C-alpha cells in the first residue's frame, strides 16, 4: 500500500553504486529510513529531493527493513542555507538534533513543524545566529517533553528566588539552598534567566528583536547543550565540533571571540 507524507531529509548514506538510504523526518510517520533507488544516476528525478535539508511530498511503500520512495516532489530545497557557511553549520545542527533525539516512527508532528519553521527562518538569516539557535534549542527540548521549569525551584518549589542556578538533572532553576544538596547545577544570573525565558516564548522569526549580550547568549547555549545531551543520553553533537573548529578562525560561528553588544 502506498503511503503519502511530507518529509525533510536529515541524512543520506550511499548504498551500492546509484542508490541512497535516507533518514527522513516525516509529518505523520515520524523519523523513518527510506531507500531512494537510483538517486545518484545523473538523470534521476530523485537527485534534488534526496539531499539533506530538502522538504518534499513523498509517496512511499513499506518494505521489511525500509520504506521505499516511489515518488518525491520537492516543496522547498532551502537552497539559501547552502550558500552561507553559518547557515550550513547551524542547519546541520538542526538536522542532527532531530536525527539523534527522535525515535523511529514516534508521533512528532510538532517537532517536524518546528524543524520546517527553523529551516525556513535560517534560510533568510544573515545575523543573530546564536540567539536563533538558542531559541530553537529551548523550543526543541520543550516539544521533546523536557520544558525547563523557570517559575520556581525545580526541587523544593519555592518561588521568588533571588539566588539560583540551572539544574541539568531536573531541568529548571534551583534555589541556593537546594543547589547545595543537588549536584549538576550551572551558574545562572538574572540576565541569563530573563533571556532564557524570553527566547522560550518568542517565535523563531522574531528573536532578532531581542537584544542580549553575546556573552550571555554563549553561556546559555552552553547550558542548553549540556541539558539536551543529558536528556537524550548522548555525549556530544558532531556538528558542534565543526562549529568550534571553524570558529577558531574568528568567524561568527558558535559565538566564539564574542563581545558584548
CATH 2.40.50.140 range(s) for the chain read 2-78
- Answer whether residue 144 shows pLDDT above 90: yes
Q: What is Dmax (Cα atoms) for the chain?
A: 66
Instruction: Name the nearest CA neighbour of 184 among 135, 231, 137, 146.
Output: 231
Please give the Cα distance from 67 to 56 (Å, whole number).
15
| Cross-strand bridge partners of residue 20 | 14, 36
Q: State the cell numbers at 33.
A: 529510513
pLDDT 10s digits, 123-133: 999 988 889 99
How does residue 253 score in pLDDT terms, banded at 50, 70 and 90? low
pLDDT at residue 120 in the model: 97
Angle, helices 190-201/214-232, rounded to nearest 10 degrees: 70
| pTM score over 0.85 | yes
pLDDT 10s digits, 210-230: 888 888 988 999 999 999 999
pLDDT at residue 233 in the model: 93
Please give the Cα distance from 18 to 89 (Å, whole number).
27
pLDDT 10s digits, 52-64: 999 999 999 988 8
How does residue 246 score in pLDDT terms, banded at 50, 70 and 90? low
Please give the Cα distance from 240 to 130 (Å, whole number).
12
Instruction: Name the nearest CA neighbour of 136 among 151, 124, 121.
Output: 121
Task: Round the average pLDDT of the chain to a whole number and report it.
Answer: 89
Give me the half-sphere count of Cα atoms (radius 13 Å) on the Cβ side of residue 136: 28
Q: State the cell numbers at 144.
A: 521533546
Domain 2-78 matching CATH 3.40.50.2000: the answer reads no
pLDDT 10s digits, 87-115: 999 999 999 999 999 998 888 999 999 99
Amino acid at each position: 500500500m502506498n503511503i503519502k507524507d511530507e518529509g525533510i531529509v536529515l541524512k543520506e548514506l550511499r548504498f551500492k553504486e546509484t542508490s541512497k538510504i535516507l533518514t527522513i523526518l516525516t509529518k505523520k510517520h515520524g523519523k523513518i529510513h527510506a531507500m531512494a533507488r537510483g538517486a545518484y544516476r545523473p538523470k534521476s528525478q530523485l537527485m534534488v529531493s534526496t539531499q539533506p535539508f530538502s522538504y518534499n511530498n513523498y509517496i512511499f511503500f513499506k518494505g521489511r527493513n525500509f520504506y521505499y520512495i516511489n515518488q518525491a516532489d520537492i516543496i522547498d530545497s532551502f537552497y539559501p542555507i547552502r550558500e552561507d557557511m553559518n547557515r550550513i553549520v547551524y542547519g546541520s545542527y538542526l538536522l542532527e538534533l532531530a536525527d539523534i533525539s527522535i525515535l523511529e516512527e514516534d508521533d512528532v508532528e510538532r517537532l517536524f513543524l518546528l524543524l520546517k519553521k527553523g529551516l525556513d527562518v535560517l534560510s533568510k538569516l544573515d545575523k543573530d545566529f546564536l540567539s536563533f539557535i538558542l531559541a530553537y534549542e529551548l523550543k526543541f527540548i520543550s516539544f521533546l517533553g523536557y520544558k525547563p521549569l523557570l517559575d520556581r525551584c525545580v526541587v523544593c518549589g519555592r518561588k521568588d528566588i533571588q539566588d539560583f542556578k540551572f539544574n541539568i538533572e531536573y531541568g529548571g532553576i534551583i534555589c541556593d539552598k537546594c543547589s547545595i544538596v543537588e549536584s549538576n547545577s550551572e551558574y545562572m544570573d538574572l540576565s541569563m534567566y530573563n533571556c532564557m525565558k524570553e527566547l522560550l516564548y518568542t517565535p523563531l522569526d522574531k528573536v532578532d528583536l531581542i537584544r542580549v549580550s553575546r556573552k550571555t547568549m554563549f553561556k546559555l547555549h552552553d547550558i542548553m547543550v549540556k541539558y539536551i545531551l543529558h536528556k537524550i543520553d548522548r555525549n556530544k553533537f558532531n556538528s558542534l565540533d565543526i562549529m568550534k573548529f571553524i570558529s577558531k578562525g574568528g568567524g561568527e560561528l558558535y559565538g566564539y571571540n564574542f563581545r558584548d553588544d
